[in-house]
Structure 1
Amino acid sequence: MKKKMIWVIGILLLTVILAGCSSQSAQGPSQTAKEEPPYPTRQIELVVPAGPGGLTDLTARAVADYVSKKWNQPILVVNKPGAGNVTGLQYGLMQGKPDGYTVVADNIASSVLMVAGMKNPPIKLEDRIFVSKFVENPMCFSVAADSSFKDMKELVEWTKQNPEKLTHTSLSATSMNALTAAELCKAIGVDYKETQPILVTSGSEGITMIAGGHAILGDQSVQETYPLAAGGKLKVLAIAAKERSPLFPDVPTCQELGIDINVTWYGGISAPKGTPDYIVKKWDETIAEMVKDPEFMDKMKELHANISYMNTADYNNSIKEQVERYTQLFDSIGVRQ
């Protein structure tokens, strides 16, 4: 009798287990796994922390055009210049909700250089998610077309002998221009603090001063330098990146000349911290597709901008490495505040 009872209980337990499995199977994976809400379902703001017309703005508009067509939702480019990029970053990263409907056209100046150049930056790396890098623009060295310097070697040798006479323009003590000049000085063994930076209010003002002979060394991007160089007003001596620029194919890189520097402006997309992973992933995957799109590629070529994609993980790692390097550099030349 006892054995019979055990046998009956066993049959009942097996029946319950099988019924449970059958019920789970009937539900299917769509009911057991959490579904991601649809995105996007309305207009997205792409915030540019600078005024219209610059490379950050123009490339952001190219991104907005592609993504809006891809997702069939409007992407509104919103320019928020002021306070050295801080106004736009606060609007897009601190005031914007982390829901994917406010993202930022970020760049090295508004991220790496801000954090590396300030002991207490108003916007920190952890205040945002660096989604993807999609564009870059190498820096270069130039002089006035009628300058006595024939090539980069002559300029370097003169600078070593006369560092206090080297004048160059910069938007701030920790701008891309300052970084480029500081990296050059470090590479050739010159004390940057002995040189004479001239503060300007815009990149165009700085490059115009070089062309007019009011400062010796141009340390702007190839995109900023190209119009005056093509017009015969500037002589480009070297590209401050690993590879030659398509805009100046005959101009050697600094590394070809034995000067170990690699300075490149770049831009990408950032989102407020707390933005869901599935939204970050969708942006990253879309940008990865965008940089291969023929129409987008033509637009970048028209803007004299180089396409350079980096995914979320690699982009974040690269930024952290650069912050560490440039923090040390700015500390060494006494400009970190």
Structure 2
Amino acid sequence: MKAILAATLTAIAALWGVPANAQSSDYPNKPIRIVVPFAPGGGTDLTARIVGDALSKAWGQSVIVDNRPGASSQIGIDFVAKSPPDGYTLLWASSDGISILPAVKPTVPYKIPDGFEFVSTFAAYPLILAVNAKLPIKNMKEFVEYAKAHPGQMNYSSSGAGGGGHLLPAYIAKEIGVEMNHVPYDSGAQTVVAVAGGHADFGTAAPSSTAPYVEGGTVRAIATTGKGRTSLLPSVPTMAEEGYPQFTEDLFYGMFAPAGTPADIVAKLRDGVQAVLKQQATVDRLHTMGLEPLGLTGNDYKQFVVNDLKRWGDIAKAIDFKLR
């Protein structure tokens, strides 16, 4: 039956003098939507807009960033997974919902890696552990001492339950043997706002979300989880430098398309993101945000995510961390 239908469609296309693959070959011929599963203002949103603006200019077609926060990024990610695989609804996500949440919550409604086509990564970034500036904490030693002196009293904010900003502090708490309380929000930007306003004692978020509040004096950056110091906050030591190499973790931002999206459309999207990434102006802008360019595509991207999923799964298992 499928063969008959395909032949019929091809015949109809031929009668009208239109190639059977016209829908792919003239892509894009209408506005593209890039879904960001977080509220505006965080690193995921900011990087999505860099790419969206560049693709819009290059292709002469509107590229709209559609923020769909909620359920620790599950709402936006699942929306894309269930969207038509035609290249007009795409996902711009971070490690949080792609390789961390699925590692600790097997009931997420989408499947990694089977639910998506892996278009391209864009940037890698660390998390910055930042505390409210009024607390007497200036380094990891003082952080641990303060936490142990206030068991069960420290609150930490994150961009959602089950993301890196939740799992990493839970890992820290387990390692130092102190209970802490999690307060979830809908973006990295909101994570830091909560710390700055005293609604949380500390939080972990991307450098781009954290730096303005460090400069404003309302939060104090204690350490970065990156393998090296970040260019945006160069005076902030790494976790390894502070004596905690086990907390070294870099996350990523990247583009995905629903599984089944035609290969030529995926290729055009991949080439589009890669072209943006190769521009020196983009590299410079990423550095001003504390990000490092990361241009994995296709199977390399997919394997990277699978390995990352296993890494976070191992951490969750080691500290008996689960979400229902």
Q: TM-score, normalised by structure 2?
A: 0.80
Q: Secondary structure at the match of 2:202?
A: coil
The one of 235, 242, 264 equivalent to 1:250 is 235
Residue 62 to residue 221, structure 1, CA distance change in 2 (3 Å): closer
Partner of 1:329: 315
Alpha carbons 1:66, 1:296 under 8 Å: kept: no
Residue 243 to residue 75, structure 1, CA distance change in 2 (3 Å): same
The one of 201, 214, 227 equivalent to 1:229 is 214
Partner of 1:27: none
Residue 255 to residue 85, structure 1, CA distance change in 2 (3 Å): same
The one of 106, 127, 133 equivalent to 1:139 is 127
- Give the Å deviation of 1:266: 2.2
Structure 1 residue runs of 5 or longer lacking an equivalent are: 1-33
Q: Secondary structure at the match of 1:310?
A: coil
Matches within 5 A, 1:149-164: 149-159=137-147, 163-164=151-152
Alpha carbons 2:72, 2:160 under 8 Å: kept: no
Structure 2 residue runs of 5 or longer lacking an equivalent are: 1-19
The one of 281, 293, 304 equivalent to 1:318 is 304
Partner of 2:6: none
Residue 336 to residue 307, structure 1, CA distance change in 2 (3 Å): same
Alpha carbons 1:238, 1:252 under 8 Å: kept: yes
Number of equivalences? 300
The one of 94, 108, 111 equivalent to 1:121 is 108
Residue 201 to residue 62, structure 1, CA distance change in 2 (3 Å): closer
Q: Secondary structure at the match of 2:203?
A: coil
2:198 counterpart of 1:210: no
Residue 204 to residue 149, structure 1, CA distance change in 2 (3 Å): same
Matches within 5 A, 1:45-84: 45-84=33-72
The one of 82, 85, 89 equivalent to 1:94 is 82
Alpha carbons 1:174, 1:336 under 8 Å: kept: yes
For the residues of structure 1 that align with 2:159 and 2:65, how far apart are their CA atoms? Answer: 25
Residue 41 to residue 329, structure 1, CA distance change in 2 (3 Å): closer
- Give the Å deviation of 1:247: 1.6
Residue 191 to residue 333, structure 1, CA distance change in 2 (3 Å): farther
Q: Secondary structure at the match of 2:33?
A: strand
- The percent of aligned pairs where both chains have the same amino acid is 30
* Structure with the greater alpha carbon radius of gyration: 1
Partner of 1:30: none
RMSD over aligned Cα atoms = 2.9
Q: Secondary structure at the match of 1:182?
A: helix
- Give the Å deviation of 1:244: 0.7
Q: Secondary structure at the match of 2:40?
A: coil
For the residues of structure 2 that align with 1:300 and 1:66, how far apart are their CA atoms? Answer: 14
Q: Higher mean Cα deviation, 200-209 or 75-84? A: 200-209
